[in-house]
Structure 1
Amino acid sequence: METTVARVALFAALIAALGLIPQITIPFAGGVPITAQTLGVMLAGLILGPWRGAAAVLVFIAVVALGAPLLAGGRGGLGVFVGPTVGFLVGWPVAAIVIGLLYRAFAAMGPMLSGILASAIGGIVVLYGFGVVGLSLITQMSLLKAVTVVLIFIPGDILKAILAAFLNREVRRARPSLAD
């Protein structure tokens, strides 16, 4: 139990630390910045598994809701839950669950391929589903326009999925006890 709590806290802190990397704001992206924090969500799902990964993301989101400026760009507080990124925030724990479940399901493919596929499906397809809906609702743009707006993020998120799979593989090589 203590180990689980420590790992969940560690990954919540990792997601926060990735928020220190400066965000890149694209003027036509509807207020959604490019950040490194989705890499932390992918890693949480891959390394901690679906439920502990989601727990780490929820701890992070709870601390942000309490006002800690831990999101990229120093954002925090309840206001972020009515901004254009709300769909992505709501989707983070779901993405971690999907990533963890798919990583287990694809395990026979090896850690790199299963990690890339799980991160791409959970961290891009599933997460963008939430993000697009939230962006559309908050900004009053059509769903088609919101999809078009977020397409700019896909190449970077593919790179994050590859990096997450690589880091997951290396962490598991160094610490085989992390395997569920």
Structure 2
Amino acid sequence: MSGLKRIEVFLFAGVLCLLCLPGVARATAPEFFVVGEVYCEVCRLNFINKLSEPMPGAKVKLECKGEEAGNITYTQEGETNEGGQYRLKVEGDHEEEECGITLVKSSRADCNEIPDEGWASKPSSLITLTKNNGFHGSSRYANPLGFTKKKANPECAELIKELEINPDHP
């Protein structure tokens, strides 16, 4: 093989390698799926229970924030399916950020209050979106979030009794 041919082959191989790099960079960027559910809490207990109802069509928001106040680095909205579940695709590593899911909008006029009592004063679910934490796989599961009704359903009295809850004490 002549010297000129070797240089041509070498240059061709080098260009081919460089063309492959953007695909490699994209393939190594982490990809996550945030999975969760939204429900209507018909008893105003502010936790999911056997009378809670899945909420199709509810809107949620994923938001990641940097260390500085007001520094929103990533945001995405999603909607629940017919079973009240959502699945948001997130690209990139968010190791240095605090990410969480919050309620945005109810799909039911009779169940559209965002809880603001006791531990549910800011209902959200924090999510870890990095591969540098020991979690394997690409799915991240958020805690269930719920809207409440203005007035509890009548059948809730039996549930409250069964759970031995005093509804007058938070």
Q: Place the TM-score, normalised by the shorter chain, in its bin.
A: under 0.3
- Taking CA–CA contacts closer than 8 Å with sequence separation of 6 or more, which of the two structures ends up with the larger relative contact order? 2
In the superposition, the TM-score normalised over structure 1's length comes to 0.26
Query: Could you say which structure has the higher helix fraction?
Result: 1
Q: Rg larger in 1 or in 2?
A: 2
Richer in strand (by share): 2
